[in-house]
Each structure stands twice: as C-alpha cells, then as structure tokens.
Structure 1
C-alpha cells in the first residue's frame, strides 16, 4: 500500500469512513508531486489565487490575490510564478517569505473548476513570488456556486479593521448570508518538523446561510456542515492533527474580504447532525480574532448559480 500520500490525521478520518484501504492504494495517482498540464493551464488564466500561510504561532491565514489573466505562470511542472503580492494590511503579508510553506487554490467559479497546489516559497521578489510545488491535485466541482467575474473597478480599498473574537455587525452579516468560504489549515506547527506540503487552502460552499453563528461559553462559534466529498479529508485531517483554522469569507458583491483565525473541532454526534440534512459531520470553529478589509479585491462577480447539490 502507498501510505505516503496522506498523513496520520487524513488516514484516521479515512479509516473512520471505511475508505482507508482504497485511498492508500491510489494515493500517489491522485496526489502528485508535480502539476499536470491541465492544472497549469487553469492557473494561467485565472484573475485570482487563494493563498494560505502560517504565522509564527502556527496559526493559518488565508487570502485572495488578484491580477490580470496570466499573473500566475508555470514555467515547468514543479513551479508556479505568482506576479502579485498581498497588500501591507493583509494578515498573510508578514508571513509570506522565502522558505515559507504555502497552500494555493486555483478556482474558476464560472466553470466550477478547482485545483490545489501546495509547496514552499522558493523566491520572493518585488513583484511577486515563486513556489516549488510539492503536491498537486484536483477537486470535483461539487458545492461550487457558479459566478462570473464581471469587471475590474478602480475604487480604492478601504482601511483594514482589526476585529475582536466576537466580530462586528458587518462581518456577522456577511457570514450569515455567505454561500462560499475558504479554509486554511496545516498538518502541524510548521516549525521545521511538519511536512512542507501540509499547509493547505480549500473551498467550502452551501446554501446562503450555511454557516451557523452562535455564542457559547467560549465566545463566537461558527458551525459548518461537512458534506460527502472526495474522502481525502485533506482539510479535516489537517484540523484533526493541528486544530487551527484560518477562514477567508469574500463578499462577491463589493470585493471585501473577511479573514478569521479560529480553533477547530470536529463533531460526529448523530443528534447534532440531525439539524443539518445531508451532513456527514460538523466542523466547529471558535473565532479567536479577525480582520475586515473593505473592497480589498478590485473585482465584482455576477449573481451566483447554485450547484445541483443544493437544488439549483
């Protein structure tokens, strides 16, 4: 069996779901150490890139970079050149450095195509950075709301606002109407012993309002239903091994970004799942802190078309 493609957290959840042996047998055929041509082609035509890094505490953060089509280039099977950098007020900016582990997601929402690439920053320069790709794999189009980037606007971004763990009315309103968010995770603290490819960023989608926000003794808790997927358990396996998550919630109407840091836990209790039809498990995220960045991305998107999994 090929066990190298998945770490202990991923393997534990695969075993719990009864798919461990099947995925061990095919691991390196679906999770590659290089990018196939169709992945390189997708990255090369995108106007955005989802990016994840960890800070000095091992806390993952996610962001969205942007540029004209072609701002991401792949000169060979093992390299992505990104000609964009996070702005100074982006929580990712300080931690994007040579040698840093990164996770990347290329998502084309209008076609529901998405590919992931994880690795390390090989070089950082004035106009962007180069990544040595160590893992590359595709994801199915499930749960992606189709929306078209409509225009690039010249409106300047507003000042970033640091948020406490209870957030504010604007960010809570976005969470409660969101149909899409992104989760940054890692397989460990990434202090030199964690696998370089363990930093990751993934997509989560649902009907508007699929994120449930409640107040507990710990503060603000966000609960996400986890539906049937590819059974790799890349994100949940990371969170089982290292229960820190970084959320990115985009406002597709005005280009604002909400960045959150959270403590994660996974719930399997049948009684709790009863309130979330179709969910296989629940992901609880206890918010630690956040940043609100108004009009951070100079793109606007069309009204979404819901995926068939949600009756659209």
Structure 2
C-alpha cells in the first residue's frame, strides 16, 4: 500500500466509491504522510506494545504482537522508527522481521487513552532489532477502542503452545468472547496493520475454519477493505487481555455487501498459532467504547 498519486490505491477507491465516501476519504487522506511529528514520536515512546503485520516466506499474512519497556519503540528521525528486540521465538514473523526490505505495517495502540497510530513502511534489520522507513504515518479516531489499564508483566511462558489449521473449541470460545482483534493485510508492495473492536460476540465463529464480523463505520479510508479487494490474504491477532496469551490466524478474507449497505467480512482460517510468551502484559477488565453497536442475538454454533 504505497503512496503514489495520493494515499489510496485502486482497491480502496473501489470501496470508497461503492459506499459513496470518496469526498470524505479525500479529506481524511490529507492526514496521511511519511513524517513523524513530535507528538507522534512522544506517543510511540510511551507504548509497551506494538502490533506488526507482514507476509512470511510462504506469502501468508500474519499479525504479531511485540512487547517491551516503554521506549522500545522510538522515532529516530523524521520518517524512521527503531524497534528494540522483536517477536518471540516461534512467532510466524520471526524470519520476516530479520529480512531487509520486508514491507511492514505497524500499529501502536494505547488502551489507557484510546489512542492509536499507524505507521507503514519498509523494514531494515538493526543490531538491536529492526527499523522501519515510513511511507505512511497517520492516527485514527478512538472509535471501538476499549479502555484498559496495565496490571502486570508475566515473565514465564512456554512460548508457542499450539499450531494448527483450524480453531480448537477453546480457541473458538476465546474468539467469540473477544472485544478486540487486529488485522494485517497487504497489497502491491506494502502492508498494513489495523484494529477492529466491538462488544463481545461481534466476531462470529461459523465453523472451525470460518469467522465473520461486521465492518462498522469508520474513517472512510477503507485501507483494509481496499487491500482485500486486491489481495485476499490476511492475518488476525486475538489478544487475551487477562493472560497475555495470543491467538494468531492466517487465511483469506472477503467483504460481503448487504442490500441495506451493511458490510460483513468473512475470513477463512488456513493456519493458527497460539502462544504464551515471557514478557507478556496482563490488562484490566475493559471499559467498553460507547461507540460499540449492540451485538444481535445469534443462534448457537457447533464448534
């Protein structure tokens, strides 16, 4: 998702035109640029986590969670971010984060303040971790962000707990209970990492290999859905805020449009990684976003 003639590629334009928000998207898109402002640099330096999205050597898209003491992510120039450390051993993106030129999407989200910032660019390995040369830097509104406070850091954990090709019953229960997940997508020579939030139950588990969720009204950019128009590969990251455990899914996603204008994204699971790593964070119970729509009652599924 590179910046050529403006911040949007044809996939995003196609969705904007279908929904009828091109003029609004043009206005919002003026906030996208390669520079890291002073306020953005200060925000990054306070964060103990960073979500990253990229493709592995096989071309599968994953979203991964990095953690560290505040300051492990910092701006080192007007368009460059340095990250100390990396993903834990066994993470699907371990190799990609050590490969020069990897297109990388990053998302810094602060549950304490309901603020978030996205920075997409190209990775360069460094002696202490990696750096990202920014192509796109922008902030998003606090819609659908649940507020939480950090509780403690857990320093024990077995690493990767389970790999598979479909959700286990326990993983399915965790997805149904989720109020937050992150989605990584890619198109052209760029990658992006974004956030999705709602009240528990907003993500449906239709089967061990199929999920669905509503695409709530947002900033009108349609970067994620636009990427999916051009490239259906995607990766999901479900954090367990109480234990620090993460569930990563890779697969393919598509958007369905209803006659009333509603949008639903359907995701086919092709791979799963469940992890519990040292240095993971535990967070408090959430204060749900007032923007979250109510979740309709649904029939029981079979997983």
Q: Does 1:169 align with 2:153?
A: no
Alignment correspondent of 2:254:
265
CA–CA separation in structure 1 for the residues paired with 2:293 and 2:20: 28
Deviation of the 1:22 alpha carbon: 4.0
Q: Please give the secondary structure, in 2, of the residue aligned with 1:13.
A: helix
| 8 Å contact from structure 1 (residues 60, 245) kept in 2 | yes
Q: How many residues align?
A: 290
CA–CA separation in structure 2 for the residues paired with 1:280 and 1:231: 14
Q: Which runs of 5+ in 1 are unaligned?
A: 188-193, 274-278
Deviation of the 1:21 alpha carbon: 3.5
Q: Please give the secondary structure, in 2, of the residue aligned with 1:69.
A: coil
* RMSD of aligned Cα (Å): 1.9
* 2:271 aligned residue (289, 298, 305): 289
Alignment correspondent of 2:115:
113
Alignment correspondent of 2:211:
222
What per-residue deviation string (whole Å, max 9, x for no partner) do you get for residues 24-73 of structure 1? Answer: 3663x211111122211111110000011112343211111010011111
Q: Which runs of 5+ in 2 are unaligned?
A: 295-303
Alignment correspondent of 1:134:
135
Alignment correspondent of 2:298:
none
> Normalized against structure 1, the TM-score is what?
0.88
Deviation of the 1:161 alpha carbon: 1.3
Q: Does 1:301 align with 2:302?
A: no
* Equivalent runs, 1:86-235 vs 2, <5 Å: 86-96=87-97, 97-125=99-127, 127-165=128-166, 167-187=167-187, 194-195=188-189, 198-215=190-207, 220-235=209-224
What per-residue deviation string (whole Å, max 9, x for no partner) do you get for residues 85-113 of structure 1? Answer: 11221111122211111000000011100
Deviation of the 1:288 alpha carbon: 0.8
